[in-house]
Amino acid sequence: MAADLARFTVILKVSNILFFLFPPVLIHLFQEYSKFVNPGINVLWVLLMVVGLSSAYFHATLSLVGQLLDELAILWVFMAAFAMFFPKRYFPKFIGGNRRVLAFYSSGFSFVSTGFLVMHPAANAFALMTLALPAIGFLFNELTRVKCTRVYRLGLRCAAVWFLAVFCWILDRMFCDAWLSINFPYMHGIWHILIFIASYTALVLFAYFNVQEERPEQKPQLKYWPRNDFELGIPYITIKHPCKVDKDIAI
């Protein structure tokens, strides 16, 4: 049993490596976006690293503090992305089309939600999972509007990876003992890898949608690293016609 637990912990630590390897690369690739669109994009990449660090700490200690750090980091990634990328055409009238006001209300919601997460830790995983549902809904809605087939294909791949990740999460939650009984303690690690891929890809897509809607004159372009003709590489956004950073940014 101790050997299985040790191997399980090692697997989870290894599966969190992506949270530390990819964000620095994305910060480098998004230099143009950060300079000419919104420097706050780097906050999202740093928060992903915080998620990875918190997750690694939680699975190494299996403590309540580690669990809360992990879940709170995920919550703040969601809310920061919401404040930064939520389409202005859906803004309520009382916000007045001001993204900074949206960020203020999002921060307030995050602080209140933080209190609930601390008070009811048993329900946190399911509560956080529900936040992904509107995000996927908005993703599909934006894909119906997008004209770039390359972006459309990436959106479909992102959604497919997310659904596969959730499927693995459900299997892990419901049949954890069964997986261990057949000496297969990898399902939760697979979930970590898939949800990271889906998460950072979604952030890339919403970064594209945000520029395309609010600053279309900048002509955002989806590219891939290390080879632009290899669509399974790391996606990022470049700006064809750069201009000054918009002052109405959330972060």
The verdict on residue 195 lying in a domain is yes
| 218 vs 38: CA distance, rounded Å | 13
Q: How confident is the prediction along the chain (251 residues), in pLDDT tens digits per residue?
A: 555 555 555 666 677 889 999 999 999 999 999 999 999 999 999 999 999 999 888 878 888 898 899 999 999 999 999 999 999 999 999 898 899 999 999 999 999 988 888 888 878 888 888 888 999 999 999 999 999 999 999 999 999 999 999 999 999 888 877 877 777 778 888 999 999 999 999 999 999 999 999 999 999 999 999 999 999 999 999 998 877 656 556 55
Q: Which class for 106: exposed (0-12), middle (13-18), buried (19 or more C-beta within 10 A)?
A: buried
Instruction: Please name the residue that has the structure tokens 């920061």.
Output: 80
- Nearest partner of 162 among 199, 124, 210, 123, judged by Cα: 199
- pLDDT reported for residue 244: 65
Q: Does 251 fall in a domain?
A: no
CATH number of 144's domain: 1.20.1070
Q: What domain range is 210 assigned to?
A: 2-239
* Tokens (6 digits) for 94: 């009382």
Q: What is the per-residue pLDDT for 236?
A: 98
What does the pLDDT read at residue 59? 79
| Contact criterion met (CB below 8 Å) for 106 and 79 | yes
Tokens standing for 206? 């919403």
Q: What is the 3-state secondary structure (H, E, C) of 164-217?
A: HHHHHHHHHHHCHHHHHHCCCCCHHHHHHHHHHHHHHHHHHHHHHHHHHHHCHH
Q: How many domains does the chain have?
A: 1
**CB-CB contact of 223 with 236 (8 Å):** yes
pTM for the full predicted model = 0.91
The encoded tokens of residue 189 equal 């690690």
Q: Please give the pLDDT value at position 185.
A: 72
C-alpha 67: how far from its chain's center?
18
The verdict on whether residue 59 carries a ligand-binding annotation is yes
DSSP alpha helix (H) spans, 62-123: 64-85, 99-119
Strand partners, 80: none
Was 241 annotated as part of a binding site? no
Q: What is the pLDDT of residue 3?
A: 52
Is 122 inside a domain boundary?
yes
Cα 53 from Cα 72, distance rounded (Å): 12
User: Pick from 129, 22, 19, 11: which is nearest to 59 by CA?
Assistant: 11
